[in-house]
Structure 1
Amino acid sequence: MNRKPKGRSPTRGSSGRSYRNDTGLTRQPKKMRGRKPSSQRWLTRQLNDPFVAEAKSKGFRSRAALKLAQIDDRHKLLRPGMSIVDLGCAPGGWLQVVADRCRIGIGDAKLVGIDLLETDILADVEIFVGDMTDPVMLDKVRNAVGGNAHGVLSDMAADTTGHRPTDHLRTTALLEAALHFAMEVLVVDGFFLSKCFRGGAEQSVLSIMQRNFTTVRHVKPAASRKESVESYVLATGFHGQGGWDVDSADEDADDQQSPTGENGGYSPI
């Protein structure tokens, strides 16, 4: 006599629909065979991420677009008529947000994107394929915006190696390069917003920001996963009077407090 199973599968019922498993996730990718465990976890997380679905429904090219939108909703950075530079702009999610909120293509508003990778075109947006550290790129950007920019954005992060200290150092190097670029092209009272991985090595770069901007703070939008070391550093009120002295910044970093913010220097959105 065949016996009926006493219970359902931990992830699927008789209807074939997914049920919540011990990870707390309800949906599972259909094709998992042959994939590495890390890839399986990433796919499962993507399927269950409400921000992935929201970004898709709004026509954004990336989930990251929601991070910028949430930061701007809180801090009111982007305004019609502004000139903005987006470093590491591919695939273009942040460009979409800026183009909409600054009304790019109307009046004097300008938007420039830079990336080593090709980025699909957007109406009225100037996109350069190249290295932001190339001195020629500064001239291209200034020509494109007609002078200097009101804001510089960077969502750049180095490719991960799986070794957290190494990943932190590599992304901090990108933060430093982005800040250097920003200080070359920003107007007085301009702003700089960049991805920043917490870990300690970023303190010298934050010290340079504190000497050259009126206010520096950490922000973590809701679309940035809680378990991630990712946050964003927002520097406003650029004046550039502090100069660029990494050695002095290292000394200052030992004495100065963390940038403005709640929860140990990080103000959640």
Structure 2
Amino acid sequence: MTTLGASIRYIRGICTSSVLGREVPTNLKGRKTSSQLWLHRQLSDPYVEKAKMENYRCRSAFKLLELNQKHLILSPGMTVVDCGAAPGSWSQVAVHLTNANGMKAESPKGKVFAIDRSQIYPIDGAIVLGNSDFTTKETQDKLRERLAGELVDVVLSDMAPNATGVRNMDHDNIVALAYAALQFALEVSKLDASFVAKIWDGRESKEIENDLKRFYKNVKISRPAATRTESSEKFLVAKGFKGLKY
């Protein structure tokens, strides 16, 4: 995995140019308390039911939909890289909004690349790279081959580490993943491209926000309504990639 320090050093070492009905669980006997709480939360969550109704793989689809509605990130014809895509709801949203499945004949057709270290079941309209750790050179090289020299309009990162329960450690780990996605975005994005990454609130939040401002014209912090109340997650939305000068 790309370390936080290495990614920060890489990014700060680059010079710039100008160039989104409730149910109650039963038969909980024998389940752990944490499992019972998770089931109660899932079954009482309106976004879980809404995701089922709209054929999204999970509730996080509504986070990207709201981010897109607020910040106008995705549109037909765009090329999108979705890092940490499993189970695939963000890629489903991206496919629809970029017309990567070609459903709208009158609109340009986009491309969506979905990458995750876990298996991803096929997504209509997306190019899937499952069982592939985005933070490794091998996966990124494989993705570059698929891009075949084409530059990217949007890099999305919903990547998150396995939580340890140690707040500062978990925060550092998710920031490291965001920096890994940002490092890749700086290398493959076209001018005026966008970058979206999930982080958990903590001591490095302001620092990564400031780093983004070096490379993007506009940087916003957003917390969609679909984010659970108890979660400290927020999304960095950067637009208007300025380009790089090595």
Alignment TM class, shorter chain as reference: 0.7 to 0.9
Preserved contact between residue 83 and residue 145 of structure 1 (Cα < 8 Å) = no
Partner residue, 1:53: 49
Task: Give the TM-score of the pair, scaled to structure 1.
Answer: 0.76
Bigger mean CA deviation after superposition, 104-113 or 176-185: 104-113
For residues 164 and 27 of structure 2, what CA distance do their matches in structure 1 show? Answer: 25
Q: Letter of the aligned partner of 1:84 in structure 2?
A: V
Q: Letter of the aligned partner of 1:221 in structure 2?
A: P
CA offsets per residue over residues 160-194 of structure 1, 9 Å max, x none? 12222222121111111111111111111100001
Aligned Cα RMSD in Å?
Answer: 1.8
Preserved contact between residue 152 and residue 193 of structure 1 (Cα < 8 Å) = yes
Partner residue, 1:83: 79
Preserved contact between residue 198 and residue 234 of structure 2 (Cα < 8 Å) = yes
Q: Letter of the aligned partner of 1:123 in structure 2?
A: D
Report the alpha carbon displacement of residue 48 of structure 1 after superposing the two structures with TM: 0.6
Change in Cα spacing, 1:61 to 1:27, as seen in structure 2 (3 Å) is closer
Task: Give the TM-score of the pair, scaled to structure 2.
Answer: 0.82
Bigger mean CA deviation after superposition, 157-166 or 234-243: 234-243
Change in Cα spacing, 1:111 to 1:91, as seen in structure 2 (3 Å) is same
Q: Letter of the aligned partner of 1:85 in structure 2?
A: V
Q: Does 1:42 align with 2:45?
A: no
Q: Letter of the aligned partner of 1:174 in structure 2?
A: L
Change in Cα spacing, 1:162 to 1:134, as seen in structure 2 (3 Å) is closer
For residues 205 and 67 of structure 1, what CA distance do their matches in structure 2 show? Answer: 21
Bigger mean CA deviation after superposition, 228-237 or 155-164: 155-164
Q: Letter of the aligned partner of 1:144 in structure 2?
A: R
Partner residue, 1:131: 133
Identity %: 37
Q: Secondary structure at the match of 1:223?
A: coil
Q: Letter of the aligned partner of 1:132 in structure 2?
A: F
Q: Secondary structure at the match of 1:112?
A: strand
For residues 79 and 124 of structure 2, what CA distance do their matches in structure 1 show? Answer: 15
Q: Does 1:100 align with 2:96?
A: yes
For residues 96 and 147 of structure 2, what CA distance do their matches in structure 1 show? Answer: 17
For residues 49 and 123 of structure 1, what CA distance do their matches in structure 2 show? Answer: 27
For residues 156 and 80 of structure 2, what CA distance do their matches in structure 1 show? Answer: 8
Q: How does 1:117-266 map to 2 (within 5 A)?
A: 117-129=118-130, 130-146=132-148, 147-241=150-244
Which structure is larger by alpha-carbon Rg, 1 or 2? Answer: 1
For residues 50 and 69 of structure 1, what CA distance do their matches in structure 2 show? Answer: 15
For residues 60 and 109 of structure 2, what CA distance do their matches in structure 1 show? Answer: 26
Report the alpha carbon displacement of residue 200 of structure 1 after superposing the two structures with TM: 1.4
Partner residue, 1:69: 65
Q: Secondary structure at the match of 1:32?
A: coil
Report the alpha carbon displacement of residue 213 of structure 1 after superposing the two structures with TM: 0.7
For residues 138 and 163 of structure 1, what CA distance do their matches in structure 2 show? Answer: 29
